[in-house]
Amino acid sequence: MTIRDRLEQLVVEQPVVFGEPIETAAGATVITVSRRGGLLRQPRAIGLFVVHEGRAQWTPAMDSNRIAQLGEWIGLLTGVIAALAILRRPPWPDLRFRSN
């Protein structure tokens, strides 16, 4: 088997897993969609399909904790960059006495 044959066998995209259809009291059918996890990762929700009166609607899953954590990381990074800039060269004038 050549390298070219092995490369053709590789799966490029992660497989998507569809959940069991659930009927609601309003007559809609809800189907969950998730992405399969890897070796140490849990499956992650992508969104869900809602089928109502013959029309399908896609609703993406949104993780608000992940968005909040991104904001915290940006704030921390900004603070570190500002602290390094001040410690390396403070914005106030240099008041050291130098004698030659």
C-alpha to C-alpha distances, 44 to 16, 56, 62, nearest whole angstrom: 10, 22, 11
C-alpha to C-alpha distances, 90 to 27, 76, 82, 93, 96, nearest whole angstrom: 66, 20, 10, 8, 13
Residue 91: band (very low, low, confident or very high) from pLDDT cuts 50, 70, 90: low
Higher pLDDT, 97 or 26: 26
What is the structure's pLDDT at 12?
60
Strands 55-60 and 44-52, sheet pairing: antiparallel
pLDDT tens digits for range 33-49: 998 877 777 888 899 99
Tell me how far apart the alpha carbons of residues 90 and 66 are, in angstroms, rounded to a whole number: 35
Higher pLDDT, 50 or 86: 50
Global confidence as pTM? 0.54
